[in-house]
Amino acid sequence: MDSGIFSCTGVPRSSLVGFDASSESEASSQEMQIGVPLNEARDLQVRKLEIPDKSKRFVELLQQLTVCDAISDEDFQKRFQELSSLGDDHVICVIEDTNRGKIVATGSVFIEKKFIRNCSKVGHIEDAAVDCDSRGMQLGKKVLFFLTDHAQSVGCYTVIFDYSNENKAFYDKQKEIQMVKYFI
């Protein structure tokens, strides 16, 4: 495993929408950074999900990932509270384009407590997506860094990019369907 950053090769699109390796490389060559424009000025904020993000097209971003019908405000808040009650054991990262008031990237990590490896913990990264109009800016890497940093900070010995594929056709083509990063 390369140090410092995930390799995204072979990760199913349904789990990793917009985290295309080629576009990330292209962006890397241009030394893109958060807040630096691709084609226009963008102010980007990396943070945890908040309830108002529903009105900032967070659900519509998830719809680029997989099946995600419209969610009522009540259902959204209920699920948000359920996840919030887990504290550090379940964190959803978003990147907001603050100029447009739009969520342009997301990903989640949940912490599994185990008996193996001296009662260790493992971080599982799920449901990562970058908005179709915001790719090529390394936003995917920023989401993954946010989530892996969190997993490491709460004592995980490893973090796994889980495969939760809805796209059978794509799945069948994959040779590698998961990323694993060890902290120790």
Which residue number, 26 or 163, has a Cβ lying nearer to its own copies?
163
Nearest-angstrom CA–CA distance, 143 and 149? 10
| Nearest Cα to Cα of residue 94 among 54, 63, 39 | 54
CB 78 within 8 A of CB 20: no
Q: Does 175 bind its own copies (CB under 8 A)?
A: yes
Nearest-angstrom CA–CA distance, 37 and 177? 32
Q: Does 19 bind its own copies (CB under 8 A)?
A: no
One-letter amino acid of 181: K
3 CA to centre of own chain: 19
Q: How far is the CB of 23 from its own copies (least distance, A)?
A: 23
Of 22-30, 94-102, 144-152, 162-170, the segment contacting its own copies by CB under 8 A is 162-170
With CB under 8 A as the rule, give the number of residues binding its own copies: 39
Q: Which residues contact 43 (CB under 8 A, 6 or more apart)?
A: 35, 97, 98, 99
Q: How far is the CB of 11 from its own copies (least distance, A)?
A: 12
Q: Does 3 bind its own copies (CB under 8 A)?
A: no
Site for its own copies, residues 30 to 89, rule: CB under 8 A:
58-59, 62, 65-69, 71, 75-76, 78-79, 82-83
| Nearest Cα to Cα of residue 162 among 12, 4, 60, 24 | 12
Kindly list the residues in this chain that would bind its own copies in the complex (CB under 8 A).
58-59, 62, 65-69, 71, 75-76, 78-79, 82-83, 90, 110, 112-119, 122, 124, 126-127, 158, 160, 162-165, 175, 177-178, 180
